[in-house]
Amino acid sequence: MKIARLFIAGRLFIAGLALAGLTAAASAGTLDDITKRGELRVAVQTQGPPFSLVGANGERTGSSVELAELMAKEMGVKITFLDFDWDGLIPALLSGKADLLVADMTPTLARGMKVAFTTPYMYTGSTVFTKADSKFKTTEDCKAKGTKIAVLLGATGEKEAKNAFPDADIKSYKGGGPLLLDAVNNGQADCGVNDVSAVKGQSTAYPAGTFTIMPDLLSKEPLAFATRYDEPDLLIWMNLFLNQVTIDGRLQKNLDYWVNSDAWKKDH
């Protein structure tokens, strides 16, 4: 009883806060705001190549970063990147610090309850990788009881690994895909599970042949950009943008350079 009453009190308090916030929310469309501001604020997560990375001189680049830059160019405004770590990324979007979110993020239905995802602009999937000279040669080998499997905390690969390797010992790391490779390379984990494009892009930092990347995918996953549900105009525009760059081939060009090959390696 007491707890229920506490909850009601809490809800009332929060409802009061919401009322206070309402006046700020009632403004013109987001696209108008962006035009007036002359600036598109994009939250990015620097989780590593090929989607988002920081070059040696501190310049931000990567597949999603270039797509966001293209977006700003088409809008005719300048772009401001807000670089949050994983903990700050979602709050940045929800609190309105950023207009949209560009990261290698899977639009799950649970997440879609909170933020508005665009239509997927590419498909990828989780793959398994191991150290080349280890006794783990295939995905099947990693299913053995007690195998240590490195995954990224909070990433969709974490759930898939739990389903695919029910007997294994799943270890969730924070800090980005390269650390999974590091853990497998150092022997803290036997196998790693992460997005295939990320694994391919990030393993190039090691000598060729360090890792075995399994050809089979654990799942097929879309990637999409995200914005808020209170910015429907921006969401419509972002979908229009993705449609446009798909038709005129600019999306394919971006993906071919960054994701489908390691052509970017020699420039960055």
Rounded to whole angstroms, the Cα distance separating 67 from 137 reads 36
Q: Which stretch binds another protein (CB under 8 A): 10-18, 66-74, 123-131, 255-263?
A: 10-18
Say whether residue 82 binds another protein (CB under 8 A). Answer: yes
Considering only residues 31, 79, 132, 179, which one is a binding residue for another protein as defined by CB under 8 A? 179
Burial 182-216 (b: 16+ CB within 10 A, else e): bbbeeeebbbbbbbbbbbbbbbeeeeeeebbebee
Say whether residue 181 binds another protein (CB under 8 A). Answer: yes
Amino acid at the residue 118: T
| Comparison of 26 and 56: residue with beta carbon closer to another protein | 56
Q: How far is the CB of 27 from another protein (least distance, A)?
A: 13
Site for another protein in 157-176 (CB under 8 A): 171-176
Q: How many helices (H) and strands (E) does the chain have?
A: 10, 14
User: Taking the C-alpha atoms of 206, 207, 208 and 214 in order, what is their torsion angle to the nearest 10 degrees?
Assistant: -40
Say whether residue 97 binds another protein (CB under 8 A). Answer: yes
Q: What tokens were used for 233? A: 């105009």
Phi then psi for residue 203, to 5 deg, are -75, -10
Q: Which stretch binds another protein (CB under 8 A): 31-39, 111-119, 121-129, 134-142?
A: 111-119
Q: Is 176 exposed, middle or buried (0-12, 13-18, 19+ CB in 10 A)?
A: buried
Amino acid at the residue 245: V
Q: Which stretch binds another protein (CB under 8 A): 92-100, 129-137, 139-147, 252-260?
A: 92-100
Site for another protein in 128-157 (CB under 8 A): 150, 153-155
| Comparison of 55 and 232: residue with beta carbon closer to another protein | 55
Q: How far is the CB of 187 from another protein (least distance, A)?
A: 6
Phi-psi region of 96 (alpha: psi -120 to 50; beta: other; left: phi over 0): left
| Comparison of 183 and 217: residue with beta carbon closer to another protein | 183
| Comparison of 124 and 202: residue with beta carbon closer to another protein | 202
| Comparison of 125 and 178: residue with beta carbon closer to another protein | 178
